[in-house]
């Protein structure tokens, strides 16, 4: 009943995924109208977006949606706005956010080794993920974290 009359090939499906059938202007218009119709007061929506952006700066990579959802429920914010706010952090911004957070953390703790000054952003991000894993393991065991 709801099948296509003519099946799309892989090439056509990929093209429609990259370029919407009605064009980008129509897709943008739809998103704009959808955002204007978010349920809730302006304060709840603003609180939701703020929670989403805040969550994108946390080191819980892969859990941003869940953390934003829980915080939005606890703080009585718009859940959909908080989930949309998490898109502030994306794969292009995770490396600078992670490197900046790692730099601030080392500066705050006063234990930034001089040997880290030559590392690139990617290496700093990889080291930050490793240190986060060690700190999470230390939370559940008796070993000290970094």
Contact present, 95 and 117 (Cβ < 8 Å): no
Produce one character per residue of 77-91: b if its CB has 16 or more CB atoms within 10 Å, e if not.
Answer: bbbbbbbbbbebbee
Phi, psi values for residue 27, rounded to 5°: -65, -40
Question: Which residue in this structure is represented by tokens 């809730």?
Answer: 40
d(CA 32, CA 144) in angstroms, rounded, equals 49
d(CA 92, CA 138) in angstroms, rounded, equals 30
CB neighbour list of residue 82: distance below 8 Å, 6 or more residues apart: 48, 49, 51, 52, 55, 68, 69, 71, 72
Condensed to tens digits (0 to 9), the pLDDT of residues 61-119 reads 778 899 999 999 999 999 999 998 888 877 777 777 777 777 787 788 777 655 565 66
Q: Is the pTM of this model over 0.95?
A: no
Using alpha carbons, list the distances in angstroms from residue 87 to 10, 46, 94: 28, 15, 11
Band (128; pLDDT cuts 50, 70, 90): confident
Contact present, 17 and 49 (Cβ < 8 Å): no
């Amino acid at each position: 009943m709801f099948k296509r009359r003519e099946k799309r090939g892989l090439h056509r499906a990929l093209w429609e995924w990259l370029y919407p059938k009605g064009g980008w202007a129509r897709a943008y218009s739809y998103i704009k109208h959808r955002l204007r119709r978010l349920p809730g007061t302006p304060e709840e929506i603003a609180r939701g977006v703020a929670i989403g952006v805040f969550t994108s700066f946390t080191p819980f990579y892969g859990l941003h949606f869940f953390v934003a959802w829980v915080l939005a429920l606890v703080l009585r914010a718009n859940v959909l706005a908080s989930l949309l706010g998490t898109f502030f952090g994306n794969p292009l911004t995770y490396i600078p956010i992670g490197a900046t957070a790692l730099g601030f953390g080392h500066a705050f703790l006063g234990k930034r080794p001089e040997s880290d000054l030559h590392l690139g952003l990617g290496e700093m991000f990889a080291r930050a993920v490793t240190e986060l894993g060690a700190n999470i393991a230390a939370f559940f065991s008796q070993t000290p974290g970094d």
